[in-house]
Amino acid sequence: MGTVTEPRTSTPMNPPTRRIGVVGGGQLARMLIGPAIELDLDLTVLATSPDESAARVAGSTRIGRHDDDAAVRALAEAVDVITFDHEHVPGPILRGVLGTGAAAVRPGPDALAHAQDKLHMRERLTALDHPCPRWWRLTGPDDLEAALAEMGGRLVVKTPRGGYDGHGVRIVTDAAQVSDWFAGGELLAEELVDFRRELSAQVARRPGGETVAYPVVESRQRDGVCYEVIAPAPGLDASRQQQIQDLARRIADDLDVVGMLAVELFETADGRVLVNELAMRPHNTGHWSMDGAVTSQFEQHLRAVADLPLGETTPTAPVVVMVNLLGGHAQDLHAGAAAALAVDPELKLHLYGKSVRPGRKLGHVTLCGDNAASLLERAHRAETLIIDGPDAATADVACT
């Protein structure tokens, strides 16, 4: 006779959160789709047009704007939890959704506010004693002149809301250089940090507070846009890694973030780290994890917002590099992509299905191995083939 097992009645499980609504139809939403299929989560994307990167491939898409109350509420009615491809959904709309009880919002509007408004973020992080560059709230040109006088005549000025990829960031020596921005309200000024390099620390956090941290990475920018990432950041010993991961975990706890949090950091010449900004969603500096970590940041974000157990963050190789594919000469990337894949069978390619515009993020490549310099060289060879096209790349070689 077999043993009769008592049914487990102890702790009731929360109802499963299977239906996920993603506000925004960009490449981050697109890259959530694969892991959602694997986990059998139903993903619905709210995109502004059927041509957007995620809308082109999602199983379920609604067309509507992120700042349209009715569109976001209708999405909420159709799902269990709302999450984001970008942080621009107005707080009042999200609070309205929470008020109806139609869906959970993860991260919640109070957490998200710190990724939406850089003044709010600076104020809160300073109050919590997390390391930031020196900063000033500017209500008008007089405040800026006073701060400039204090800091030797040079500052970084930022629009608090709506900036991305360096739009909304200017190095300023004279208040007149941002007179156009003052019309829009208060501005943030920061000391111009003489950083050695930029780092990024990512953590994922579940609603109950469980967190996991990814290795801290180095991110390199070109014209204000993330261009290369090396994971883990070269030359950070285990205790520095741990210290920076702990900072990111504390920020996630303090701000009650749910989902992925990216803490972008400056590492100064004297070894300090200062928080630059926060993103509460999968982030460009975590794309390496798609091919180079046990659990990608996209799967991890879904697990966190669906309140599933979090996954291992361990890298699958000693070094992983990621290079962004930013719009260049070639209007069709597929010929160059085929050439790049032929040259380097270890190359992992991710194209976002977007039309080409100069400088636009169109995709990325990753490579795993043990030497960052040679992996970057191979990644850039692929980038040239894809972005300039195979013929242009051959012509370049022929000329040299």
Site of interaction with ligand ADP (CB under 6 A): 133, 156, 158, 163-169, 190, 192-193, 198, 221, 224, 264, 276-277
CB closer to ligand ADP, 133 vs 369: 133
Smallest distance, ligand ADP to C-beta of residue 56, A: 25
CB closer to ligand ADP, 83 vs 276: 276
Smallest distance, ligand ADP to C-beta of residue 195, A: 6
CB closer to ligand ADP, 147 vs 382: 147
Smallest distance, ligand ADP to C-beta of residue 263, A: 11
Smallest distance, ligand ADP to C-beta of residue 180, A: 17
**Contacts of range 242-250, beta carbons closer than 8 Å, 24 or more positions apart:** 244/199, 244/201, 244/216, 244/273, 245/201, 245/203, 245/213, 245/216, 247/130, 247/131, 247/201, 247/273, 247/275, 248/201, 248/202, 248/203, 248/213, 249/203, 249/211, 249/213, 250/128, 250/130
Helix and strand totals (H; E) in the chain: 13, 18
Counting every residue, how long is the chain? 400
CB closer to ligand ADP, 254 vs 277: 277
CB closer to ligand ADP, 24 vs 389: 24
Smallest distance, ligand ADP to C-beta of residue 171, A: 8
Smallest distance, ligand ADP to C-beta of residue 264, A: 6
Separation between Cα atoms, residue 221 and residue 265, nearest integer Å? 13
CB closer to ligand ADP, 158 vs 206: 158
Phi then psi for residue 84, to 5 deg, are: -135, 145
- Sequence-ordered list of residues with C-beta below 8 angstroms from that of 25, at least 6 positions apart, any chain: 45, 46, 47, 48, 49, 52, 53, 54, 55, 58, 61, 85
